[in-house]
Amino acid sequence: MNITIENRETVTVYGISHCGPYPEIYKAFNALWDWALAEDLTTQVKSAIAIYHDNPNVKAPAQCRSDACLQFEHPLSDQQLSEIVRPVMITGGCYATYRHIGPYSALEPVYNEFYHHWLPTSDFQKTSQPSFEVYRNNPMETPEEQLITDIYFPVTGK
């Protein structure tokens, strides 16, 4: 597993909350992109990001919380937000980062490898911050075996 350690600044993204099985976060992303299209904001999107708050091996999938988010070139005004789209803060700090190339359906084994093999043998431990994924290309225009997902695991030294 090729992990790099990266320090990131705190960033504000804009998202829609999702509660339920993580593979169903696409529903929140669909609503988020519909909103961005209606507000004529799609050309200002830097990246799409999913934030995962719970461990689906511990919490029932129906109760898992996540946020489907978009990062924009510039901060949005309150007038541009809607009842369901809200600012979401991604806390800066130290992150273990892994680049996955391939289908989203193959991401779960990456998390298992990280938490059960890489992390216990590293000089790091997980923090209380949620992990997140940054989607580097468009799944509507990219073959799934070429999808690029950067996963950020919040860590601190032991």
Confidence label for 96 from pLDDT (cuts 50, 70 and 90): very high
Q: Which residues, other chains included, contact 64 with Cβ-Cβ below 8 Å and sequence gap of 6+?
A: 19, 20, 21, 22, 52, 53, 54, 56
**Predicted confidence (pLDDT) per residue in 121-158, tens digit:** 999 999 999 999 999 999 999 999 999 999 999 999 98
Distance CA 153, CA 133 (A): 9
pTM here is: 0.94
Indicate the pairing of strand 93-101 with strand 4-8. antiparallel
pLDDT per position as a tens digit, 52-86: 999 998 999 999 999 999 999 999 998 899 899 99
Domain 4-157: homologous superfamily in CATH = Regulatory factor, effector binding domain (3.20.80.10)
Cβ atoms 50, 132 nearer than 8 A: yes
- Average pLDDT, stretch 8-33? 97
Q: Domain residues of the chain, as ranges? A: 4-157
What's the chain's average pLDDT?
Answer: 96
